[in-house]
């Protein structure tokens, strides 16, 4: 919320006051935001590196990011396979160039190199 308000040029002291008030009333929670955001983006096919970067960009602290990602309880290998199959089909890449393209796509989506090498044969 802080990120969005800052984009709209609200003064920082006003933003802090409003966020503190909302948090004290239980209407705003960074932890709840991080969990919800991570779950939504994971379901759309994004990997842990991308989720971590996006949450950090939105002002979520590292501890909350770690907690949100841990609560997802996702098999990232299985998720990467699903994302690859949805985009490129279940068959193996035709050649080295096609395999490199698929790996690059998965890395862009935020999956670690070791998983992309295992998921994309060749």
Here the CATH number for the domain that contains residue 39 is: 1.10.10.10
What range does the domain containing 113 cover? 76-119
Q: 0.85 cut: is pTM over it? A: no
Into how many domains does the chain fold? 2
The CATH number of the domain where 108 resides is what? 1.10.10
- 14 and 51 assigned to the same domain: yes
Q: Residue 102, SS3? A: helix
pLDDT value of residue 26: 66
- 57 and 94 assigned to the same domain: no
Number of H helices, E strands in the chain: 8, 0
Residue tagged 């998720």 (tokens): 79
pLDDT band at 55 (very low <50, low <70, confident <90, very high): very high
How many other β-carbons are positioned within 10 Å of the β-carbon of residue 7? Answer: 8
- 80 and 62 assigned to the same domain: no
- 19 and 42 assigned to the same domain: yes
Which pLDDT tens digit goes with each residue over 56-94?
A: 998 899 999 999 999 999 999 999 999 999 999 988 999
pLDDT band at 13 (very low <50, low <70, confident <90, very high): confident
CA distances from 119 to 20, 46, 51, 65 (A): 45, 15, 19, 25
């Amino acid at each position: 919320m802080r990120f969005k308000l800052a984009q709209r040029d609200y003064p920082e002291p006003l933003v802090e006051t409003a966020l503190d008030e909302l948090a004290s009333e239980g209407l705003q929670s960074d932890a709840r935001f991080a969990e919800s955001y991570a779950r939504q983006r994971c379901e759309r096919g994004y990997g842990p590196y991308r989720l971590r970067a996006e949450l950090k960009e939105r002002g979520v602290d590292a501890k909350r990011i770690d907690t949100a990602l841990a609560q997802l309880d996702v098999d990232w290998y299985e998720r990467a396979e699903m994302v690859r199959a949805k985009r490129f089909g279940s068959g193996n890449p035709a050649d080295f160039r096609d395999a490199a393209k698929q790996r690059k796509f998965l890395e862009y989506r935020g999956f670690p190199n070791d998983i992309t090498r295992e998921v994309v044969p060749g």
